[in-house]
Amino acid sequence: MNTRQRMEALRTRQPTPVAAPAGMAMRTAPAASTLPSWPQRISFCPPGMQERGGECVSSVCVPRAHPLANVARNAELAEYERTVRARFDGIVPTLKEIAAQQHEAGFEQRAQRIARERLGFELPAEVLSDAWVATLDMRKLYGHSVLQTYHALAGEFTARWNGQAEAEAMLRFFIECGFHEVDISPCADGRLKGLLQFVLRLPHQSVHRRKSYAGALFDVELNVKHWTETELHRFREGVPTLSDAGTRYLKIAVYHFSSSDPQHEGCAAHGSDEKKAAQAALDRLAAFRTAIENGFCCGASVAALLIGVDTDNDAIKIHVPDANGEMSASCFVDNLNVYHQTADMAAPEAGWRLSAAIDEAARDAGRSAPEAGMRRLIERLLANNLSQIDYVCANHSGRYADIGHAERFINIGDGFDEVHLRNLAYFGHLYTIEEGAADMDVGIKIFSKLNVAHGLPIPIAIHFRYDEQVPGSRERAVARCRRVKAAVEARYPILAKEGLLFCGMTVQGKQPGRAQEEVLDIDTNSHGH
């Protein structure tokens, strides 16, 4: 990659198509009569990298075959990523073709046939039938297509994927490490949407509690409530371990940063300041531990872990707790360094070197080593992430093309479990718009640049889960969807009035494998996708 040429291209870009990296959408200039293709920022090498003959010679960008990488899993994920991206990238070309035929005879039937063949679903009939009177409402068609594409992918995932055995094996591993529950709170940034499936390589069913918050600033009180529920199940039912088993609740916070453009493409909630992001997450973890210890007797305690993710290449930093579970922002294992140190070693030697990196991080910081169970978990996460670094090297030349935001839609309410992919969606966890206003405002700001600036609406997927065992739970989830939708439109009235918000609503049962059910604006009946 040539930094100077790419940066010059960014400054002098003209309103003509620019070739995009393989597997990604092309970028075109906005025009009044057409829909722009998916916008993305071109990546560039970090400052200080050496170049020779116009090519980057940094080892970061060189594909490697790491001895500890899971080659078969990497191939599966590469095909999965290509499939998901291709489905979304097909939306704009398909809608452009349909738009060009809107005044021809038999348009409605032809448009639906094209949509079924290219996208896998039909378009809203009322929008097509109105095209002869006025211009075809491309904003509605675009918003509908983005959310329907996601729902179709989610349905396919649910129908064909059964990871229960893999999830159960991971749950047993967590318990062997001394943790009966793992609760993860990453930043809401869409670049962390693939955290479980890609970055950490954890089966999503093995992590029962995962909620994203802007800046990884999770709700301490809500997490105390989750801890209480978990411990009550242990006390009453012995699930997943007996109350006297000696295992603990593990809370993980995940912040992020950018090595390519650290002052602009890091976490917006912390001003792209990596140190502030790490410290803020550490402070939340400390507050959570203190709340449990102060609020409950009999030596109640929780374990905590802090992880940083370089969203340019998915390499992680794990902040190593000492023997008492205390962490420091300056004591961590940089897994990208481990990757390069071990890439040419035999597998046993690489595994030993990875383990030694944990001791070295603690010793260099003048701290004690972590207790055995935590150490074992850290080793597993580091090893898993080596596969992901290898994946990015092989499939993205060591660094993603879209180092900045390139999300497809905003997901608010409860998170979707079925489709995990980097930059797929910006997530805001909320039950009322007032409660999650800060997260929502960040999402709208991001999509004002990604979509609105190009005349595209902001697709918003409002999604809540309900408990099938609780009478009236589904009805309340449906009502919550409608209430949040009305509140979103009221908070951003100009966008709503101009058709630049497209809200879709779904609810879903909490039991594994439940399908998403569409919620209509007024009709209380809904159907699964």
Q: What are phi and psi of 374, to 5 degrees?
A: -65, -40
Catalytic residue among 189, 312, 314, 414, which?
A: 189
Rg (CA), the chain: 24
Quickly list H helices, 120-219. Answer: 125-129, 138-160, 164-176
Strand pairing partners for 213? Answer: 187
What's the CA gap between 384 and 387, in Å, rounded? 6
106: left (phi over 0), alpha (psi -120 to 50) or beta: left
> Which residue in 408, 334, 360 sits closest to 92, CA to CA?
408
> Which residue in 305, 309, 306, 307 sits closest to 266, CA to CA?
309
Quickly list H helices, 267-346. Answer: 274-295, 335-342
| CB burial readout 54-84, b (16+ within 10 A) else e | eebeeebbeebebbbbbeeebeebeebbeeb
Check if the beta carbon of residue 177 is closer than 8 Å to that of residue 374.
yes
Q: CA triplet 460, 462, 467: central angle to 5 degrees?
A: 165
Q: What are phi and psi of 517, to 5 degrees?
A: -120, 125
Which residue pairs from 83-87 have beta carbons closer than 8 angstroms and sit at least 24 positions apart in sequence? 84/153, 84/419, 84/421, 84/424, 85/23, 85/24, 85/25, 85/421, 86/23, 87/119, 87/120, 87/149, 87/152, 87/153
137 noted as active-site residue: no
Element (H, E) at 252: strand 248-257
> Which residue in 267, 259, 253 sits closest to 214, CA to CA?
267
Q: Is 93 exposed, middle or buried (0-12, 13-18, 19+ CB in 10 A)?
A: middle
What's the CA gap between 397 and 85, in Å, rounded? 17
What's the CA gap between 385 and 373, in Å, rounded? 19
Q: Count Cα atoms within 13 angstroms, Cβ side, for 186.
A: 25
What's the CA gap between 267 and 216, in Å, rounded? 9
Read off the DSSP letter of residue 187: B
Catalytic residues: 189
